[in-house]
């Protein structure tokens, strides 16, 4: 497959590039810097907010992974949300798989972000990524999937295995490597089109 990875230089994006390339897919790495992480066949410097360039790229590939996130330095989250809303409005024809957040996962009908033990430092990001998920759920005519990680995601080891869930956590943590495995598995054998799912080790 021809796979785009937007946000290809980040923790998740770079591992998705490596995992997809490892399986023989042709990967185009897209980032603001235009850097080519290990495994990328091509690299392009495009900002996620540049919908006029992003959408033709999506339609030139078999699938696109969007691994960008909202600003974590205290800046506005509007560019992140507007990028997703503009992409949804443009209705690209080919598949998009979006890296989601864990804060919108639910336990007994309560989202993690609304629980007292949820870290305050991540609450704003969790709210924003919940709004992003809601925008995809409300979309029509778009081939989308959102994958929420377990509450803890960090660099680790590639075991090649994980547990699957839908809207509730199935574990406390997942390595970024196994999260990338789950992403490429979903691209190769789609099982969650038009919905959100989650994974954990």
CATH number at residue 63: 3.40.50.720
C-alpha closest to that of 164 among 139, 189, 137: 189
What's the pLDDT at 191? Answer: 98
Ranges of the chain whose pLDDT falls below 50:
none
- DSSP class per residue in 92-124: -SSEEEEE--STT-EETTEEGGGSTTS-GGGHH
What's the pLDDT at 54? Answer: 97
What's the pLDDT at 23? Answer: 98
Q: Please, what is the Cα angle at 69 between 68 and 73, to 5 degrees? A: 130
What's the pLDDT at 62? Answer: 98
CA distances from 197 to 71, 72, 122, 168 (A): 24, 24, 20, 9
What's the pLDDT at 81? Answer: 97
Enclosing domain of residue 119: 2-200
What's the pLDDT at 12? Answer: 98
What's the pLDDT at 92? Answer: 97
What's the pLDDT at 162? Answer: 98
Number of domains in the chain: 1
What's the pLDDT at 94? Answer: 98
- pLDDT tens-digit map of 103-140: 999 999 999 999 999 999 999 999 999 999 999 999 99
């Amino acid at each position: 497959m021809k796979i785009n990875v937007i946000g290809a230089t980040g923790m998740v994006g770079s591992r998705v590039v490596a995992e997809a390339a490892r399986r023989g897919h042709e990967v185009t790495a897209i980032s603001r810097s235009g850097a080519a992480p290990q495994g990328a066949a091509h690299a392009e410097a495009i900002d996620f907010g540049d919908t006029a360039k992003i959408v033709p790229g999506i339609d030139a590939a078999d699938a696109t992974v969007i691994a960008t996130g909202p600003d974590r330095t205290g800046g506005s989250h509007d560019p992140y949300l507007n990028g997703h809303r503009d992409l949804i409005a443009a209705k690209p024809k080919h598949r998009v798989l979006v890296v989601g957040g864990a804060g919108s996962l639910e336990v007994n009908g309560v989202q993690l972000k609304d629980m007292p033990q949820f870290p305050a430092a991540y609450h704003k990001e969790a709210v924003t990524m919940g709004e992003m998920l809601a925008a995809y759920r409300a979309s029509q005519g778009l081939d989308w999937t959102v994958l929420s990680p377990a509450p803890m995601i960090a660099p680790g080891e590639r075991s090649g295995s994980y547990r699957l869930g839908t809207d509730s956590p199935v574990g406390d943590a997942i390595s970024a490597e196994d999260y990338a495995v789950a992403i490429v598995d979903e691209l190769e054998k789609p099982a969650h089109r038009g919905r959100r799912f989650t994974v954990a080790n």
